[in-house]
Amino acid sequence: SASCSSYHTPETLRLSVAGMVIPLPAIPVPDGPPPPECQEDMKRLKWCVVAMIVFGLGRAIFAFLQNAISLDLWALVSLFISIVMGTFIFKDDEHLQSFYNCLSTTICSMCAEGRQGGLHCLVPFMMCTLINVAFDLLMHYQLFGYAPYGIFLVGSLIAQSVAVFFSYRVFKTLRGQSPDSGFEMGGGGGGGYARPGGADAPARANFEDGRAEQTAPSRGGGFVPFAGQGNRLGS
């Protein structure tokens, strides 16, 4: 079995926490329930979240019983955050709704009051869970054989990895369907013209084949350079 006393140092724990706290890009997703094309992947994702809860609970219990909690504390906190975000994705699901209600009335009441949840938690859940898997593989692989804690550690890693996979499948499907659902991201294409009140762009005038504007010859007595008679010097 692996030795737990010399596994981590405070510096490595600080690095793991710093790596998990990174800014996430604001990638919009459509509102409302997922389309029918996502139903199967969403169902599989839900059971991945349930597996994360089960293996995470066993991982925490045996970390306490086997005196490994000091090595796994911040990883368990990060796992719990991923579980919370996964539960908020399925806040209306029949199997996870009771757990969501428990979270929304206790430690996550501010998030619930802000109406956060549903598909808007998909990308943060996917990114944070991916980071958790990467750091667990890098920093906890020596504990895989530390049974029975190692069994739940490996189980939580597998559950999180599969959850990331199905999260990405759902996200890719949503992004592929965004134009049909009226969801468009702003872009700098052809630079359309818009007037207040929805008026159309003014019609082109005095243009030919999209080239420079054709200017009419000037009328009247305008200034014309080098048109005078002039005088010779010395005359």
Tens of pLDDT, residues 78-96? 999 999 999 999 988 889 9
State the pLDDT at residue 35: 80
State the pLDDT at residue 112: 74
Q: Average pLDDT, stretch 195-211?
A: 47
Q: Do 148 and 62 meet the contact criterion of CB atoms below 8 Å apart?
A: yes
For CA atoms 156, 161, 162, 164, give the dihedral sign.
positive
Least confident of 13-22, 43-52, 157-166, 223-232: 13-22
Q: Average pLDDT, stretch 192-221?
A: 47
Helices (H), the chain: 10-20, 39-65, 69-89, 97-104, 109-113, 122-139, 149-177
pLDDT in tens, 29-73: 666 677 888 899 999 999 999 999 999 999 999 999 999 898 899
Check residues 84 and 223 and name the one with the higher pLDDT.
84
Predicted TM-score (pTM) of the model is: 0.64
State the pLDDT at residue 179: 52
State the pLDDT at residue 54: 96
